[in-house]
Each structure stands twice: as structure tokens, then as C-alpha cells.
Amino acid sequence: MEDALLGGLSPKEFLQRHWQKRPLLVRRALPGFRGVIAKRPLFALASSDEVESRLVERRGAHWRVTHGPISQDRFKQTRARDWTLLVNGVNQHAAPAEQLLRRFAFLPQARLDDVMVSYAAPGGGVGPHVDSYDVFLVQGAGRRLWRIERARRFSLVERAPLKLIEDFSPQEEYLLEPGDLLYLPPGWGHDGIALGECFTCSVGFRAPRGAELGAAFLDYLHERGLPDAEYRDPGLKPATQGGRIDGRMVEFAARLLGRIRWRRRDVEDFLGRFLTTPKPEVVFSPSRRGKGESIRLHPKTQLLYRGNRFFINGESFAVPRRQARTLAQLADRRQASAKVLDRAGLGRLISGWRQSGYLR
């Protein structure tokens, strides 16, 4: 099935030809699209401590970054041009942004991250940079010129407040107008410059790095009780080389760390919790019981599964197989019939999620 969002390509064709291989430009991917949020509510979100936001200003070759919350008075101090506001996770607060994110449901939810919205004054941008993850850039109101360079090992500007490419040498330029879409694989250099006031929606993807996973996994193991022992050194003799690490201490550490064990099941449980754990600024509030026949996951909620084990917002639990099939439908579609869930014996679970604010 062809998809206008992907320029007439089916999701399978897109993944084969472009995903993590080469960019794709689609004119009028979303006809009539003007964005997902207006200027005033976007600025209001930026002033909240429940969202991640940044104000990026450029003066010549100098850049200044202000991290949110950003007060309305701070916006009044900006110049007429050369600045941009970036607000992450807009899909958690604006229904049109959530609807845009779900247009990319042909990709695994474990990889989908959020919709970041940038509002730019004329000349605004964040400079030439490179991302370690895939991104779909959807142009809202206004126009933005994108310059891109093939993936390579880029040199970064030292001591800059942003990860700016020092030796940026673009090979292609694309002028995006409302409704246009540009897909960029990881590692491609790009620089977007607003040609007037404009909104751009960036649909980003999660791509955990090895060091990030390793550190989080060690925390996970620690919470579940790593081997513990106290170091003792009876028979210690006077030190003749005070700066030298004693070999017995090295042996103690090697023996203790060698006792750390985990199984594949531990890795699966950790990964499910890790992928669904909300970002620090995300806050849930209890939701009222609605009268509708459909249960919907809150845009802030991430529900994933593997087999009959489910993960929701950093929590892990298992259900019987017959319930797993029903719950998997809720995870896949992010909504399900309240009657079907109740008949499957999931009423108490759903009630608890409602009290926790996990449901819309």
C-alpha cells in the first residue's frame, strides 16, 4: 500500500530504500499542514518545568543557549531575527502532535521518541549539526532552507554551547514549505535556516548508545542486589611505595565483580523497563473514569511487551497468555474496547492505570 506521507512509497519500500541509507524529500507529504501548535501555547509550554525546552540565539559566529523553563520576559529580550525555540515532547501536550507521531506507526514504538517543535524567527536555526538518530522533518507554517551533507566523521567546534560541525560542506539544498517532509538518516550533517517566521516538527527516534545502556543496566543490577563483601587485609605490612595499589585489592575487586551474573531474561526485563521509563520532566495525574467504550493510552504513556511480559512507564509485569493477546492489542493500537479488556479480566489493572494517570 502506497503512502502519500512517504512520497508514494509503501512502508516496506521506504525501509528498504531509505531507512538509515539515504535521505528522502517528499513534497506535500501532508497537504494543508500548518503545524501542530500555535506560537502562544508553544511559548507557554516552554515556560513549564514539565517540558524540555531550549532557546538558541546567534549573533554572528557566537551562539547562546538558554535551557528551560523559559519565562515570557526572556522572550521579550530576543532580537527580531536569528533565534529559535525548541520544545521537546509536544506530542504529550498537544493532540495534533500526538496524531502526527502516530502517522509513523509503521515503525516500532520502542524506537519512536517524540515530536519536537521549533519556532524560528527569520534567520533562526541551531547551526550545522549531526544527529545519532533518524529524524523526519515536517515543515509547518513558513519556509525553511535545509542544507545537508553525507555522513562522515565530522569535526566539531570546540567550546561551543551546541554540537556544531566545524567543517560543514553541504552537497544539497532543499527549500521546505508547509506540508513538505525531509527524512534524514543518522550521521548526516544538516543545517536549517528559517526564511521568515516558521514552525518545524521533528519526529525523532530513540537510539540508545552502548555506554548509556551499560550504565543503566548496572544500575538495574544494583537495585536487585549486586554481590556485596567488605575488604579486609590482615597481615598488612608498612608501605614502602605509598602510591602503589596493592595486588590483594585488585584480586578482591576482580573476584567480587566476577560474581556478577545475569540471564537473558534479566536483559529483556531491563530493556523493557528502560525503553518505557518516562523522562525526568514527565508527570502523570490521575484521570477520571470516562463514559466512553474505548480505553486510550495517555500520550505520555509507553506500553511495550515481549511475549506475555509487559512494560509500562518503567514498570514490569506478566499476565496469562489469554490476557496477553488482548493487552498486546492495546499496546499495538494504543486504544482498545473497554468491554473487551473487562471480559479478559483486565478491569482491575486498567482501573489502577487510570488512577496512576496512564490513560487518557
- Can you give the pLDDT at residue 1? 41
Rounded-to-integer distance, Cα 349 and Cα 215, Å: 31
Q: Which residue has the cell 502517522?
A: 103
CATH code 2.60.120.650 region(s) in the chain: 4-205
146 Cβ contact list (under 8 Å, min separation 6): 137, 173, 174, 175, 176, 182, 190, 191, 192
- Can you give the pLDDT at residue 292? 63
Whether domain 4-205 has CATH 3.40.50.10860? no
Q: Are 151 and 186 in contact (CB under 8 A)?
A: yes
Rounded-to-integer distance, Cα 66 and Cα 161, Å: 10
Sheet containing 53-59, strands listed edge to edge, beginning at the edge strand earlier in sequence: 24-26, 181-184, 135-139, 198-205, 112-120, 83-87, 53-59, 62-67
pLDDT by residue for the chain (360 residues), tens only, comes to 446 899 999 999 999 999 999 999 999 999 999 999 999 999 999 999 989 999 999 998 899 999 999 999 999 999 999 999 999 999 999 999 999 999 999 999 999 999 999 999 999 999 999 999 999 999 999 999 999 999 999 999 998 898 899 999 999 999 999 999 999 999 999 999 999 999 999 999 988 888 899 999 988 988 877 767 788 888 888 888 878 888 888 998 898 888 888 899 999 999 999 999 998 888 898 876 666 678 999 999 999 999 999 999 999 999 999 999 999 999 999 999 999 999 999 999 999 999 999 998
Task: Name the E strands within the chain.
Answer: 24-26, 53-59, 62-67, 83-87, 112-120, 129-130, 135-139, 144-149, 172-176, 181-184, 189-194, 198-205, 294-296, 303-306, 309-312, 315-318, 335-337
Q: What kind of architecture, by CATH, is found in domain 267-356?
A: 3-Layer(aba) Sandwich (3.40)
CATH code 3.40.366.30 region(s) in the chain: 267-356
